[in-house]
Amino acid sequence: MSQEQQTPDSVPSVDGMPRLGLGTWQNTDPDQCRESVQTALETGYRHVDTAQAYDNEVEVGDGIAAADVDRDDVFLATKIWTDNLSYDDVIHTARESLNRLGVDYLDLLYVHWPSGEYDAEDTLAAFAELYDDGLIDRVGVSNFLPEQVREATEVCDAPIFANQVEMHPLLPQEDLQACAEREDVNLVAYSPLARGRVFDVPEIQAVAKKHNASAAQVSLAWLLEKGATPIPKATSEDHIRDNWSSLSIELDEDDIETIDGIDRQERQVDPGFAPW
């Protein structure tokens, strides 16, 4: 493992998005949420991800405000929930999210799922308006299949910047990787540790031992090698720092081949309204 210390300026980015973020799904204890966001930013993270459905936008905003980091140096993303995807509701609830987060703009706003009130033309027209008005810098989609990504890029007047999906060594999402490259859309990986299941995978354990690293670090480094931006959830300082150190892991071709050879497909997030 490289011993190079990562600093915020040395974190890889794509089109202004730092390629390692802090996820906040299920981080619902108010004090813990505020503290984890503040700790992550003061560790060096510059990408924080939340959503209306997480019910923690206020605490995420408080953590950003408490950190010794300028707001403009933080890449902040949230998501519009399925009940709020009509044109008027997108406009209204996006402004509510801004107020809860205590910010004037969002770096990235996602359609959380292509379900509920989602209608590609109606929903994305509202996103384009928010983009034109300067309230959001980038438009994103989440949990979209390749054909839905293609439709979004065709109908939205603003560029589709990212598709946030579950992705990890047990769900490598090859079709979505190909789609992202074809449509010039970035992949953001949620649940990048398969909710802890990667820790017990022999192939990942072997690569981790080789690099004197944790299984989490190896899994995140693999995602980075695949061109994805992982956003692992972490609440304790130890886990926040452990995930951060994945930026110093340099996997070789044998490591990638070993992890690619894992013969498992295990989706962790599979609600009844999912498009697959």
Q: Which residues are catalytic?
A: 54
3-state secondary structure at position 212: coil
Using the Cα atoms of residue 203, residue 207, residue 212 and residue 213 in order, give the sign of their dihedral: negative
Task: Tell me the C-alpha distance between 69 and 40, whole Å.
Answer: 11
3-state secondary structure at position 7: coil
Nearest to 44 by CA among 80, 89, 75, 81: 75
Structure tokens at 4: 């190079």
3-state secondary structure at position 131: helix
CB neighbourhood size of 116 (10 A): 17
Nearest to 79 by CA among 102, 112, 106, 103: 112
